[in-house]
A = this chain, B = another copy of it.
Amino acid sequence: MRHTLIKMTKLHCLADICLIPIGTPTSSVSEYVTKVVEVFRDSGLKYTLHSAGTTIEGPWDEVTAVIGKAHEEVHAMGVVRIQSDIRIGTRTDKHQTPEDKVNSVKAKLERNLKKEYKEN
């Protein structure tokens, strides 16, 4: 017997998804990744496509709804089985965008290069 109804959280999150269709006629997945990107674009949430997945940002309930919608749409293309790997992060100490994360690493790479240069 189910005794609790969990309310969907509004926690802000960054999710990165790598969706893989199983049992497709060819080894190309770009047709399906395109559909994922289109669902993300239509959601109005911020997203970025990169070579190992697609990143999407927003409240937990909306982000997970959009990823679920992507599964539904890829099933509607005739794919009977889908496996996704999702890396999802939440933090309560500060707001950080995907660009902030990359810029923070780039600044440190530059700082280290300057330090090395001075030491030599």
Interface residues of A (CB under 8 A from B): 1-4, 6-9, 11, 13-14, 16, 18, 20-31, 33-34, 37-38, 42-45, 48-53, 55, 60-62, 64-66, 68-69, 71-72, 75, 80-93, 98-99, 101-102, 104-106, 108-109, 112
Contacts and interface: CB of A to CB of B under 8 A. Distances in A.
Contact of A62 (B1, B6, B50): B6
A119 to B, nearest CB: 15
A82 B93 CA distance: 11
- Tell me the number of copies of this protein: 4
A15 to B, nearest CB: 9
- For the residues of A in contact with B, the DSSP-based class is mixed
A61 B8 contact: yes
A4 B42 contact: yes
Nearest to A102: B51
